[in-house]
Amino acid sequence: MKSHWTMFRWLIWREVLLAWRRKTDLISALAFFAIIASLFPLGLDPDPRLLRPLGGGVLWVSALLATLLGFHRMFACDLADGSLDHLLLTPQPLILTIIGKAAAQFLLIGVPLILMSPLLGFQYGMTSAEAWQLTVSLVFGVPILILLNAAGAALTLGMHGGGLLSALIVLPLSIPSLVFGAAGNISLVGAVLALTLAFAPWATAAALRVSLG
């Protein structure tokens, strides 16, 4: 058990270091999120009565698109230099490796994205209670999106046009979390997260084994 924890820590450290050295990916995903969310108030009627009810939904869709952009290459770099083989050959179960990678992505992109969301919500004239509710729903929602993207990325690994195909797999699967999240129903988003945690890492592991075999 102790050695699993050691490996888990090294995995997180590896992902953080790599993300720091490849900052552009990180920054572009976050900038994309901010820009998409800011375009809607500019394009729509600036009447706060119209914008306020839209805010939650628009921010959720923006988060969905930003994670799609940020994570469809989650395993591609590791595949290209051969380190994915070594990740599969570490003594810890592959499920833990996948959860570790997803956790690191959550820290790196998820947390800043969640912190940005209430600020962006104020553009829609949200009250602080509404902004708080949105933030909490994203705390549960963003991990769902990351886990689904990991499965999509693993399924389409090494394929031409894999990014687009991965989006076609991930977007329909994220509809439940989008519906519950945008409506602010946090307990249902939590339930979807539990369900995703129970299935997505296993699907990702199986897909990775097939992609490399």
Binding site for other proteins (CB under 8 A): 3, 6-7, 9-11, 13-14, 17-18, 21-22, 77, 80-93, 212-213
Asked if 118 contacts 131 with a C-beta cutoff of 8 angstroms, the reply is yes
For residues 53 and 27, what is the distance between their CA atoms, to the nearest angstrom?
29
Q: Return phi, psi of residue 132, to 5°.
A: -65, -45
Asked if 66 contacts 33 with a C-beta cutoff of 8 angstroms, the reply is yes
Report, in Å, the least distance between residue 126 CB and other proteins: 39
- Alpha helices by DSSP H, listed for the chain, are 2-21, 23-43, 48-71, 76-80, 83-88, 94-105, 111-121, 128-155, 162-173, 175-182, 186-212
Q: Return phi, psi of residue 38, to 5°.
A: -90, -15
Nearer Cβ to other proteins, position 77 or 168? 77
Report, in Å, the least distance between residue 82 CB and other proteins: 3
Nearer Cβ to other proteins, position 7 or 76? 7
Report, in Å, the least distance between residue 99 CB and other proteins: 14
Nearer Cβ to other proteins, position 61 or 88? 88
Report, in Å, the least distance between residue 10 CB and other proteins: 3
Nearer Cβ to other proteins, position 18 or 173? 18
For residues 93 and 82, what is the distance between their CA atoms, to the nearest angstrom?
19
Nearer Cβ to other proteins, position 38 or 90? 90
Report, in Å, the least distance between residue 107 CB and other proteins: 17
Q: Is 161 helix (H, G, I), strand (E, B) or coil?
A: coil
